[in-house]
Amino acid sequence: MSGHSKWATIRRKKAAIDAKRGAAFTKFIREITVAAREGGGSLENNARLRTIVEKAKAANMPADNIKKAIQKGTGEIPGVIYEEIVYEGYGPGGTALLMKVTTDNKNRSAANIRAILTKRNGSMAALGATAWQFEHKGFFSVPKEVIDEESLMEAALEAGAQDIVTEENSYDITTLPTDFEKVKKALDDKSIKYSSAEVTMVPKSYVKLAGKEAEQMLGLMDALDEDEDVQQVYANFDIPQEVMDKMGSQE
């Protein structure tokens, strides 16, 4: 889980910077619109929409922007029609990549992603080439200072969590996607604060990277995150904490 949870921490640090530039809000609007179009505009009945809206609020996105994005998705007001596409690829060291895109122009998105990968020692892959290396899971990251491991295990496992892994600074919980909301409610009910909570793609195994390949990998992830069409990037890298910390401190 280390590659996933470490990069999630970096993304949160970068989110505040992106929000100032408006990049984060643009991505939230697109994802909210698609989620509302596919599952309806009710937060109570649309778990995906509810999760995205919570993230948008945490990034201080104005409530009016959120409301309008939902209305565009449900068709109450006119808006651009976005489609979701998942591209597959390879990164430095043979790492596997899944890139979730929300776009109004798939030709533009494909060309941009191909250019980013090529420039940073990566390449596009055929459909199905890397997807098999990931599993659809619910994921929570709980800082160690919040709770002791035994108490967390009792609360999470009773609610249906599959596994809890101890990382350097956190406890990482995985669940079946169908049990995500149940585990989230259990943590909320016990006031257990988590730094990350999402239904995501978790790698089945990891590729260890160091040196130049590690720097190239983080540069690639950063470049993909900066593309406004790219909503999520999943990768199976494992990089030393000190390298991750160095990257996370950069603006």
Of the candidates 28, 64, 65, 68, the one whose C-alpha atom is nearest the C-alpha of residue 49 is: 28
Average pLDDT score over the chain: 86
**pLDDT given at position 91:** 95
Instruction: Write out pLDDT tens, residues 76-113.
Output: 888 788 889 999 999 999 999 999 999 999 999 999 99
Of the candidates 183, 204, 96, the one whose C-alpha atom is nearest the C-alpha of residue 140 is: 183
Right CATH for 2-74 from 1.10.10.200, 3.60.15.10, 3.40.50.2300, 2.30.110.10? 1.10.10.200
Helix ranges, the chain (H): 2-21, 23-39, 47-58, 63-74, 106-119, 149-158, 180-189, 211-226, 241-248
The residue-averaged pLDDT of 62-80 equals 89
The residue-averaged pLDDT of 172-187 equals 93
Name the pLDDT band for 211 (thresholds 50, 70, 90). Answer: confident
Instruction: Write out pLDDT tens, residues 216-232.
Output: 998 898 899 889 899 88
- Domain map of the chain by residue range? 2-74, 83-132+205-248, 134-203
Right CATH for 83-132+205-248 from 1.10.760.10, 3.40.190.10, 3.30.70.980, 3.40.50.880? 3.30.70.980
**pLDDT given at position 77:** 87
Query: Is the pTM here over 0.75, yes or no?
Result: yes
Of the candidates 136, 128, 140, the one whose C-alpha atom is nearest the C-alpha of residue 203 is: 136
Domain 83-132+205-248 identical in fold to domain 134-203: yes
Q: What whole-number distance in Å separates Cα of residue 237 and Cα of residue 248?
A: 16
At the top level of CATH, which class does the domain 134-203 belong to? alpha beta
